Structure 1
Amino acid sequence: MFSSNDLISFIRSYYNDDSFIPLHRPTFDHHEKENVLDTIESSFVSSVGGYVNEFEKLLESYTGATKAVAMVNGTAALHCALYSAGVEPGDIVITQAVTFVATCNVIHYLHATPLFIDVNKYSLGLCPDALSLYLEENALIDSDGQCRHRKTSQIIRAIVPMHTFGHPVQLFELNNVCQKWNIVLVEDAAESLGSLYKGKHTGTFGKLAALSFNGNKIITTGGGGATLCMDENLGKHVKHLSTTAKVPHPFEYFHDEVGFNYRMPNLNAALGCAQVGKLNQFVLSKRELAREYQCFFDGSKFSFVTEPEYARSNYWLNAIICPSKIEKEHLLKETNANGVMTRPLWQLANTLPMFEGALRGALPNSEWLIDRVVNLPSTPLEKSCI
């Protein structure tokens, strides 16, 4: 009979560690230290410096994006992405209720309205079937070709699927729905750097996308993010916006539109440049850990969340589906009480006080998952990562 003690023992055995085991910790070596020290000695620690441009080029090369613009964090990257996608006050932006709150906060920053659609159980991300059904029943195309909500007459401007725990959503199917209804696709790829959908990197299927390099992500810049653009001119404009829309000049200060002070500091980018060089190995190591977990849970009453058949996931956070809410809560209590950090799924966004009045479709899968999902320690052994 499987017990929480069995899991605790397995995790402690894997890490060979009797102390506190976090959900995820970054992995550094001398390369990061050398880059950061070089930045300090140069005195260019803020948004001007060579590492920022180098980091962007490395991201472009790795992901295949036409343009990457480094930002202060993933929230800023998504904010700039949706703003550049044309989201205006009063618009509706569709996303999933299973997401980190920052996704919804950004929609609010733009004075737009979130609309929550269900996820499916195998990707944990926005379900194209649920999206298509909701639009068929609740949307129309007006005489100007705009998609509008039948009840409120608001324009449905964009959809923001989130690649939950690094597992890619069904991007082809979602793109088809977007094209049919004239809706812009903007990917929240904060968790999926290193993940592929049918051989192509996530974040490169829509008009824009956002990455995060927070301390708990697969690579980190301390705090940081990036907006990915698949159009060169759009990318140039996003970069312009991120630097307070300042027009280049040897000494004058002139800003030609409202912009954002979102440019990533050189100090953070220096850390990122060292991390990107090890990203492929990080992904391999995380996938090895996922296989260890999958074997451990095989035959038990707990289901390990595996990558969809169409994708290669970075397995940023490993997750299991518990048989019931009671068993989920018991597992969380026992593991955390014994120094092994585990976490539940985020509270569904539509149940938070800021968004509880938002439009939504039926959310049976989302509600089922929140009662059962637990995240497990997901840092691969350091010897595999360096």
Structure 2
Amino acid sequence: MVDDLAAGRRPLQLLPSGSPSTQAALRACPGAALAHDPGSVPAGADPGLLPGWGPVLEVWEGYAGDPELRFAGSSGGAASALALHLVGSGGAAGVIHTAARADAPLLNETVVSTTREELLARAGSRYAPASPADGLGTAERAGAVGSSPYVFIGKPCDVAGAAKATAVRPALQAGLALTIGVFCAGTPSTAGTLELVRAMGFADPSDVESVRYRGNGWPGEAVATGTRDGEFHEARFSYADSWGAILQRHRQWRCHVCLDHTGEFADVAVGDPWYREIEPGEPGRSLVVVRTERGRQAVAAARASGALVLERVGNDVLPRSQPNLVRTRGAVWGRITTMRLLGLPAPRYAHMPAFRSWLRDLTPREKASSFVGTARRIRARRMRRPAVVVEHAAPRERSDAS
């Protein structure tokens, strides 16, 4: 896996397309195909939400019982608190997730956290390309020898990929104690972070020593620190000025043809309860969606211990918290249909209906845009040409990095 400046994290193909290893990777890739199994829907899943939101057993709202985790997290710190509880209770050996790269803070890397201090330091969203599934070998090796499993935290696509891999890798299945999916509206490419830090006053990205996209409050500010003209410089942008004005414009095309933005294949999914306005200075709160029986047991144990402070809310809070995703699902159907009509490869989805959303939830203008806008993007992005993955050189290499 390498960082491509415009496309994000991408694999370099080292073996021929027909090799067993390459074919196995394609079978596990959530970007090629994704499907729910109607025969394995958990008992008690909400039938009204299942078509558009995946399995939903319970919906909770709350926050980490640890005040520092709650403050550091992007919303209420629930994902970190749940993972830490599993590690602290002996249910997991560690947490496979994403953190800023030690030698290049504008980029990400996959890490394994085993202590509260590590999870606290790495809490918060990373609105930059990440591929935590490249750390699943740690879990598979643990499963192969029967040692303690790991918690896996990732974007919906990361968790979906892990789920597809466990279907054919029994040791990986045994090596995962819990999967936690984080709601995602799309991942900006590295070019987005470079534009952000330049807007913050860093003409040379190599001057940036740290960048934080959210957290330390809800929803938190984007904060970059480093040196400028030889002196310490810190810049802060609001969530609206960072994500809304800059980063979201750099979302990868892969994200524009994704149907799963809420972690439908995870044991537990966590996101922001955007169904109401956030008051200034309000402490962070998380929306916790239980999707499997294993997830239900993990959340119940974390609540009982005080690691999570949660209150049960109606299942309708999920669509109310993410109203834009209803229209996004319909728009994706139009985009994929356009790609196929123009002879381009497109993701294959099964038992994840989207046409009904296109028909019911989109305005006539939005319906037309899902076709015409996609055709324009295909031409502008030159999607008819084979993509060439080019590794992006890290903008900063610190000699003291470990």
Taking structure 1 as the reference length, the TM-score comes to 0.38
Taking structure 2 as the reference length, the TM-score comes to 0.37
Name the structure with the higher strand share. Answer: 2
